Structure formats: C-alpha cells, structure tokens
Structure 1
Amino acid sequence: MKKLLAMVVFLAAVMVQAQDRYTQGMDKAFALWQENKIVEASNLFERIATAEPDNWLPYYYVSQVNTFASFGEKDLQKLSVKLEKAKEFLDVAKAISPDNPELLIQEALINTAWISFDGATYGMTLSQKNVQLYNRAMELAPNNPRVILSKAEWDMGTARYFGKDTAPYCKDVEKALELFATFNSEIPYYPSWGKERAQQVLEACK
C-alpha cells in the first residue's frame, strides 16, 4: 500500500512538473510573439507541440503565428514557407481536435492570406472554401464571438468586392463584441483574440 501511495505521489509530482514546463514554455512563446520575434515564437510553439502530441493548442499557435506574419508579405517564396508551415501544423491540430470551430477559423485565415496575396489566382477556389468553413463553424459554435466576428468580416469583404452594402453585417460584429464580454474557456491558453478587432470594425461601421 505504501509503495502504491508513493507511486501515485511520484506520478502526480511528474505531472505537475510537466505542466509547469508547458506553462513556462507557452508564456515564453507568447512573450516572444508580443515582441514581434516571429521565428523564435514559432519555433518555441513547435517544440512545445512536439512535447505535447495530444494537445491541439501548440499546433494551433504555430499555424496562427505564421499566418498572421504572412499578411503583407510580397515575396511568394517567403509567403509559401509561412503558409505551408501554417497548414501543416493546422492539419495536425485538426487531427487531434476534429470539428473545432477555432481551427476552422484558422484554416479560413490561411486561405484569406493567399487571397490577399493574389486574389486573381486564389480568390475563386478559396473564397468558396471559406464560405463553407465559416458556415460550418457557425453550425458548431453559433455563440463563439471569434466565429461571428470572422464570418462577419469575411461577409463584409465579399460585399465590398461586389459593391454591396456592408452595413447589415455590423450587427453581427456588435453581437460578437457583446459575446466577448462573457465568452471564456477553462482550458489554459484557449484562443481569446478578437475583442479589439471587433471594436475597430464596429467603430468603422459607425
């Protein structure tokens, strides 16, 4: 009995230590990202992902860091490296956590980065794909503010492209902003971005 108790205590201590390493690593990666050290942040998230093969979040953040860094990139080769890596890690995250609305949004953002780079080449095929992704995300999580905001922004962009009024989607942005006040997750490091962006978009609506 004493040996069993000792083993339980030992395993608990190992788990706490591993969790501490995870927390420290994630905090450090976010700090590097905040300092705009994109490559370093991506590499650290990647190392954490390797150590946490059943956790979709580090894979998600490798994908997100590289996607966000690709917007505005003018060099096709550099863009391709970032977005191919983003897609590679996203695919692993999706395998770990299927039907995850946060991952559907992330996939749509990768597509949007390609469209932003060259709409003539990628717009037709990826635009339709994004419509499907956002619709599916809305089915899965109709009260997730990031889902509502992201879909609204996509719909606004489509409306502008076709010369239509974007005002109808401002109500969706307003709803997203309201939901940001109450939406939360008990999962450490669960995505929380979007509130400031919603405020900016809503301000532009006015």
Structure 2
Amino acid sequence: MKNLIFIALVAIAALTQAQTNFEKGMSQAFKLWEANKWDEAENMFERIAKAEEDEWLPNYYIAQMNSLKSWNEKDEIVLKAQLDKAQKHLDIAMTKSEDNAELLIMQAQVYTNWVAYDGATYGMKYAGQISELYSKAAKLEPTNPRAVFCKADWGMGSAKYFGQDTEPFCKEIEASIELFDTFKPKSDFHPNWGKERAEQVLATCKE
C-alpha cells in the first residue's frame, strides 16, 4: 500500500512539474511575441508542441502567427509557405482537440487569408466553408465572443460585397463586445483576442 501511495505521489509530482514546464514555456513564448520577436516566439511554440504532445494550444498559436503574418503578404510563395504551415499545425491541433470552437475559428481565419489574397481564385472555394465553420463554432460555444464576432464580421463583409444591408451584422458585433466584456478564458494561455478588432468594426457601423 505504501508503495502504491509513493508511486501515486511521484506521478502527481511529475505531472505538476510537466504542467509547470508547459506554463513556463508558454509564458516565455508570449513574452517574445509581445516583444515583437515573432521568429523566436514561433520557435518556442514549436518546441512546446513537440514536448507536450497532448496540448493543442502551441499548435494553435503557430497557426495564428502564420495567419497574422499573411494578411498583408503580397508574395504568393511566402504566403503559401505561411498558410501551409498554419494549416499543418491546425490539422495537428484538431487531432488533439475535437469540436473545438477556437480551432474552427482559426481554420476560418486561414481560409479567409486565401480569399483576401485572391478573391477571384479562392472565394468560390472557401466562402461557403468559412460560413459553415463560423456557424459551427457559434453553435458549439454560443457565448464565445470570437465565434459571434467573426461570424458577424464575415457576414458583414459578404453583405457589403453584394450590396446588402449590414445593420443586422452591426447588432451582432455589438452583442459580441458585450460577450468580450464578460468572457473568461480557461487559462492565461487560452485564446482571448478580438475585442479591439470588434470595436473597430463596430465604429464603421456608426460612420
């Protein structure tokens, strides 16, 4: 019995140490990112992802970083390399966490990168999938502010493109900001972005 208790305590201690290492690594990666050291931050996330095979967050942030870098990229070769890397890590993350609203949202963001780069080529391919991803994310987590905002933002962009009324989407974006105000991420490392962008988009509704 004493041996079993000892083994259990050792296992718990090892788990605690592993979690501590994960938290230290994630904190360091975020500090590097905040210091605008994108390459170093991305490399840190990659090391964490390899060490923590059950954690989806490092892969998520690698995907997000490559998505963000792609928004203003004009070189198709560079863009493809970035978005292929984002997709690779999203695919890995989805094997670690199924029916994850945050991953669905990021997948939609990556597809939107392609549409933003070349709407004529990628609009028909990805537009429907983007709408479906946001709808599924919002259904999974109705109070997730990113799901509500991104779904409305995409809808607004489509409405503007087709010359339709954007007012319903403005109301949804306003509702998402209220959700941002009360949203509490599961940890310091879980996604918590979007409020600033939502406020910027809402401001355009009042112009």
Q: TM exceeds 0.5?
A: yes
Structure 1 runs (4+) deviating above 6 angstroms are none
2-structure distance, mates of 1:43, 1:58: 10
Structure 1 residues 138-157: aligned runs within 5 Å: 138-157=138-157
> Is 1:9–2:40 an aligned residue pair?
no
Query: Helix, strand or coil: the match of 2:58?
Result: helix
Deviation at 1:165, TM superposition (A): 2.7
> Is 1:127–2:162 an aligned residue pair?
no
Aligned to 2:62: 62
Aligned to 1:24: 24
2-structure distance, mates of 1:34, 1:187: 18
Aligned to 2:79: 79
Deviation at 1:188, TM superposition (A): 4.5
Query: Helix, strand or coil: the match of 1:93?
Result: helix
Q: Which stretch of the first structure deviates more once superposed, 7-16 or 125-134? A: 7-16
Aligned AA for 2:137?
Answer: A
Query: Helix, strand or coil: the match of 1:181?
Result: helix
In percent, how many aligned pairs have the same letter?
49
Deviation by residue 1:38-57 (Cα, 9 ceiling, x = unmatched): 22211111111111111111
2-structure distance, mates of 1:112, 1:185: 24
Q: Is the 8 A contact 1:38 1:69 kept in 2?
A: no
Aligned AA for 1:105?
Answer: I
2-structure distance, mates of 1:10, 1:4: 10
Q: Which stretch of the first structure deviates more once superposed, 80-89 or 49-58? A: 49-58
Deviation by residue 1:2-39 (Cα, 9 ceiling, x = unmatched): 43333333222222221111111101111121222222
Aligned to 1:169: 169
Q: Which stretch of the first structure deviates more once superposed, 171-180 or 161-170? A: 161-170
2-structure distance, mates of 1:12, 1:155: 47
Q: Is the 8 A contact 1:62 1:86 kept in 2?
A: yes
Aligned AA for 2:141?
Answer: A
Deviation at 1:103, TM superposition (A): 0.8
> Is 1:195–2:195 an aligned residue pair?
yes
1-structure distance, mates of 2:186, 2:132: 28
Aligned to 2:42: 42
1-structure distance, mates of 2:23, 2:138: 31
* RMSD (Å) for aligned C-alpha atoms: 1.4
1-structure distance, mates of 2:147, 2:186: 18
Deviation at 1:185, TM superposition (A): 3.4
2-structure distance, mates of 1:127, 1:159: 13
1-structure distance, mates of 2:37, 2:123: 30
Aligned AA for 1:106?
Answer: M
Aligned AA for 2:134?
Answer: Y
Q: Is the 8 A contact 1:87 1:110 kept in 2?
A: yes
Deviation at 1:127, TM superposition (A): 0.7
Aligned to 1:90: 90
Structure 1: runs of 5 or more not aligned: none
User: How many residue pairs align between the two structures?
Assistant: 206
